[in-house]
Amino acid sequence: MSTSVKTEDSMILAAKTVAENHIESGMIVGLGSGSASSKFAASLGELVKRGQLKDIAIVPSSMQAWLLAEHNSLTLYSDSAHCPDSLDAAVDGADQISLRTRSMIKGGGGALLREKIILSASKHSYILVDSSKVTENLDRSIPVEVVQFAVNSVHERIKSEFNAEPVLRVLEKGYPFFTESGNVILDCRNFDSIEEPSQLELSLKSVPGVVEVGIFNCKVDKFYVGGQNGSYESH
């Protein structure tokens, strides 16, 4: 069996563990976007179909998450256009995590704003990643969601004040990528190793026109890390 298949198996096993051990009947659950969330949605859907869980309500972080819930016959929260003031649990993936600081970089799919709202509003949160996304210090490109009106001014502020290289995210044919809230994303590269992610998050959010930053310092109950041997670790 190839390493990639074993890693995939480990992620499926981790998603199943979260669904079985951390989700209870009657819960309101925030669902993230991406491949890890799709595995969790499938596991949760199976438990609901078998009658092991009942009255689960899903708050989706994106249209993709909404479709995941629908595909797996999961009931959407009655007012899915709005995040409730409190969710029982949230499950999501990440582009990179630091176990040292328990921080993350997210937003590769463009749903960082709603994902952060959901994670921040949840009593408990669980993150699913494969081992290639684990690092000592965060060091990859940081998505920054920006209102269209301020894209040029934010670009210059980040370039001059943070010594980074902001690049407007575009689609395959060169059209700008727009988030579901109608904003654009600057993928900011060439940051040094991020030893204090909470401080960088606050500094970037202080730039006028920045809506949200893809550095996440929300409380995470457990990181489930899928390995190349078909098993996972929790941290």
Catalytic positions: 115
Residue 116, sorted as left (phi over 0), alpha (psi -120 to 50) or beta, turns out to be alpha
End-to-end CA distance of the chain: 26
What order do you get walking across the sheet with 103-105 strand by strand? 134-135, 96-98, 103-105, 215-216
- The 3 state secondary structure assigned to 56-67 is CEEEECCHHHHH
Q: Centre a 10 Å sphere on the Cβ of residue 34 and count the other Cβ atoms it contains.
A: 22
Q: Crossing angle, helix 63-71 and helix 35-49, to 10 degrees?
A: 30
Q: Is the dihedral of CA 131, 14, 235, 144 positive or negative?
A: positive
- 134-135 and 215-216 strand pairing: unpaired
Contact 154, 146 (CB under 8 A): yes
